[in-house]
Structure 1
Amino acid sequence: MSRTFHIRTATQADIPALRALMTDAIDRLQTGFLSPAEIAASHAIMGLDTQLIADGTYYIAETDDAERTLAGCGGWSRRATLFGGDHTAGRAPALLDPAQDAAPFRAMYTNPSLARQGIATLILAHSEAAARTAGFSRGTLAATLAGAPFYRRHGWGDEVPFQADAGEIAIPLIRMTKRLQ
């Protein structure tokens, strides 16, 4: 049986479920790309940025059935922070200028039990369209090693590897960009 999903804007009431989904996705979907120590340390640099919810630029994909299962989440930002949750050091809440700056695409997570069903594609397409509507012609993101192949398939490139400091462990990430128009 094929499932269908719908997108809606996340609300403050969704925060507990989003945090649980993110923890599960980090722990399960990074396996094979990061060591167990790197996966554990990833929680220091990944997670929910509630500013995205407050700004109305964070979305949830749910199953189109009576259960409305949280299938995934992600979004984009008008702000300078490239990655990380509320707890991540180095956040930059300054507003970006769509005429000059690239919109950061942020915090894309899929429910591990529903992976590879088009959920991330749906959220990314919705987010790209919303950023274009807001006047952004370019996007940027910090991809995990697990996520980079997905973004490549969707036209993201200009890859610049870097490492994010997660305490005593550095987490490998890849900065990627895309023209949105």
Structure 2
Amino acid sequence: MIAAVGLRAATRADVPAIGELMRRSVLDVFPRFHDDRATASAARHLTVPDTVLIDDGTYYVHEEDGDVVACGGWSKRDKLYTGSGPGASDDRLLDPATEPARVRAMFVRGDWTRRGLGKAILARCVRDARAEGFRSLVLMATLPGEPLYRSFGFREVRRTRVPLPDGVVLDGVEMDYPLTTS
């Protein structure tokens, strides 16, 4: 019997399981918020694991009995979300004193939602980004993720539209979270 592992840093060996979890999560959860076309587009464009996050040591998985059931992390680099396509400054390291870290690629398998896994990953992101000197976090929430981020304490900055490479546009919410207390 394989024991439960819980939350841990992701490794390159996790990439296939992370990709599968991302796709499964979108297909399970997005239909509650989006039509079939938007769900299919998100399943294609938002579910590519970003190995830079894994190599930076800022991406985490929650593993239960050998299955990756949740994943997510933060980035000290300029890219805000995967579906944006490649950008010229994606790999630029952010200045922790003046720029917010980015919460990235949060996914929970549909049958594992509402068990605190997303909040545990966010708490790890807060702890680790704060330890690196960052003063705030930002993220681009899709509609399925918005309730989690709000309940954690993220604040809405503005509602926006998120264009995907195939022309589908998703509703999104830019959000932030202060890491400093004054």
Which TM-score applies when normalising by structure 2? 0.90
Unaligned runs of 5+ in 2: none
Are positions 1:35 and 2:35 aligned together?
yes
Are positions 1:80 and 2:81 aligned together?
no
- Aligned pairs for 1:160-171 within 5 A: 160-166=158-164, 167-171=166-170
Could you report, residue by residue, the CA deviation over 1:28-61 in whole angstroms, capped at 9, with x for unpaired residues?
1111211111111113541221110011100011
Sort the Cα spacing of 1:25 and 1:117 in 2 relative to 1 into closer, same or farther, 3 A: same
Runs of at least 4 residues of structure 1 off by over 4 A? none
Residue 8 of structure 1: aligned partner:
8
Unaligned runs of 5+ in 1: none
CA distance in 2, matches of 1:90, 1:133: 27
Deviation of 1:94 after TM superposition, in Å, equals 0.6
CA distance in 1, matches of 2:156, 2:55: 30
CA distance in 1, matches of 2:117, 2:5: 7
Deviation of 1:128 after TM superposition, in Å, equals 1.0
Residue 86 of structure 2: aligned partner:
89
CA distance in 1, matches of 2:91, 2:73: 16
CA RMSD, Structure 1 to Structure 2 (Å): 1.7
Identical aligned residues as a percent: 34
Residue 158 of structure 1: aligned partner:
156
| Structure with more of its chain in helix, by fraction | 2
State the aligned residue count.
174
Which TM-score applies when normalising by structure 1? 0.90
